Homo-oligomer: A and B are copies of this chain.
């Protein structure tokens, strides 16, 4: 009953098995030329006729006999007797051997005058100049681009023979619901085969997604048996890890041969390869990022070995913004966000959880950490493959620090102006560290309301002896969140849910307890920490706790009650010299816009009186980590 993985194969070994164990299907199909973009030429394409087929004019002008023009000059203009007007593309009659451009002729009655001799064959396009009849236009294997299609049409080609491959995709799992159905508790939408279909279709594959198969070995066996008939490759989604209901391995063994199950790759370890009736059967793990890895690193190379073109991979060299660990012995693939800070491309790992699809959504690239390595230190230069247009990097600002709904709204406004915000939420200190090491453009920080900046003290040095500018985004109301409207005095009787030490709500709580004379350890759950304020609200909404500290906007977004206890300033810290960067200027303009103020008012819980104000902090002053005391709203003072 307790199963373990078969011995893991190395990625290299698995890929060699994958690409050498099967015969290429060599399937082709004829497609109309208008639908050929992105497809791979299966048979060499030859021109149907020469272009041009005869000598034609390359210019608008007049066709002349070059010998008639000898000696023409400004002082000796020659009026032509023999000529014919031609437009670009017109046939040159045999008696003429040159064209004079319309710009170089002067009207002279019913004739024309020229002032310079014509060189024989000037401005004439000889027959076959572009291509000659039966000459190769595109070789086998060429990926057809839009501008190639213009040429093919010109050369008389209306259909092309391109590579084709049929891929059958089987979703398995009793927990799955199909696209469009809202999953119940413990269910998930069957999304991996949708992703597989879209991904492989872009390579030119014809994908057939089969209906969801329940976790039943007989059903899976019958589905696989029929899928290998019409397809050149079959993917079985999920059912390839080592749980009690994973039958795929046994099914493959019963119908054919298992080539491997388990590869030292992360994510994607449970990947499986079988051979049934000579066809490859690839088992996709259930975790979305594992499925992505198997699609990109296994399915795509298999099709590539059959002549298909991979999705273009754009390699760039980036400096790692933070350390990246890796299991030695495993080839790891990690999503990253790449941004440009100054002249350096900077890569921020987006986490390695195989279940968190937002990591890939928020990333614009990925890196491959080879098996022997234990990872990379921050600052290492490494190769990243981009998954977006490289140009989009220049339109993106990287913000690292403490996130708040106020920033999400701002990012929305910025997106509409073509300015993209890549924001991560490691907290104030990590944000300031990133700013120091030039690993972000700006650090969003939550600071005590209306504190003089010079009172800050901390271990964080201001980078490069420069000044920091603090752009005030909004003042945020902080308070006690609960289902029942609990107050400070209720905290010793409630199940509390706390946040990490470096978060603003934690600081507010500690100040509050101190001022009320409450020992933190009287508060049940004081040691139970979640990542951030939204997690606090979620825990309370879901009944895991009764009270916590968060902002009023997060409380109301979760339908919870809120008792205000403090105000804090939400600030964007940037190096002062970056204030001239057009992207930062755009951000300031948006922060100061009435639209943004209105958005914040609509959310509620924000004060915008000083929104857009900029303060500076020079090298002499040192920032405090979490300055005390927190300034209380007047309603709570005294």
Contact = CB atoms under 8 A, between A and B. Distances in A.
A31 interface: no
A527 B420 CA distance: 63
A91 B186 CA distance: 5
A60 B244 contact: yes
A138 interface: yes
Given A186-B90, A357-B150, A243 B102 contact: yes
A182 B156 contact: yes
A590 to B, nearest CB: 14
A87 interface: yes
Nearest to A243: B60
Interface stretch (A51-59, A161-169, A274-282, A628-636): A51-59
Interface in A502-520: none
Contacts of A372: none
Contact of A88 (B56, B153, B286, B391): B286
A359 to B, nearest CB: 9
B241 A358 contact: no
A140 B412 contact: yes
A355 B44 contact: no
A415 B48 CA distance: 21
Contact of A151 (B132, B151, B357): B357
A416 B150 contact: no
Given A60-B243, A416-B140, A416-B141, A179 B151 contact: no
Stoichiometry (number of copies): 2
A313 interface: yes
Contacts of A586: none
A139 B420 contact: yes
B415 A141 contact: yes
A314 interface: yes
A582 interface: no
Interface string A292-316: 1000000000000001011111110
A357 B130 contact: yes
Interface residues of A, number: 119
B185 A91 contact: yes
Contacts of A452: none
A154 B288 CA distance: 9
Q: Which of A87, A132, A192, A245 has the most CB of B within 10 A?
A: A87
Interface in A24-38: 33-34, 37
Nearest to A45: B361
A17 interface: no
A98 to B, nearest CB: 14
Interface string A128-166: 111110101111111101111111011010100000000
Interface of A: 1-5, 33-34, 37, 44, 48-54, 56, 58, 60, 85, 87-91, 102-103, 105-107, 125-132, 134, 136-143, 145-151, 153-154, 156, 158, 175, 179-180, 182-183, 185-186, 188-189, 191-192, 194-195, 197-199, 202, 241-246, 286-288, 291-292, 307, 309-315, 353, 355-358, 360-361, 387-392, 408, 411-412, 415-416, 418, 420, 534-535, 538, 542, 557
16 contacts: A53-B185, A60-B242, A88-B241, A90-B175, A130-B357, A132-B538, A136-B411, A147-B361, A150-B195, A150-B198, A150-B292, A156-B182, A158-B180, A309-B389, A309-B392, A310-B389
Given A49-B182, A60-B242, A132-B534, 11 more contacts: A33-B179, A50-B538, A53-B185, A60-B241, A85-B244, A130-B356, A136-B408, A141-B420, A143-B389, A150-B288, A313-B389
4 closest A-B pairs by beta carbon, nearest first, are A150-B195, A60-B243, A151-B357, A153-B191
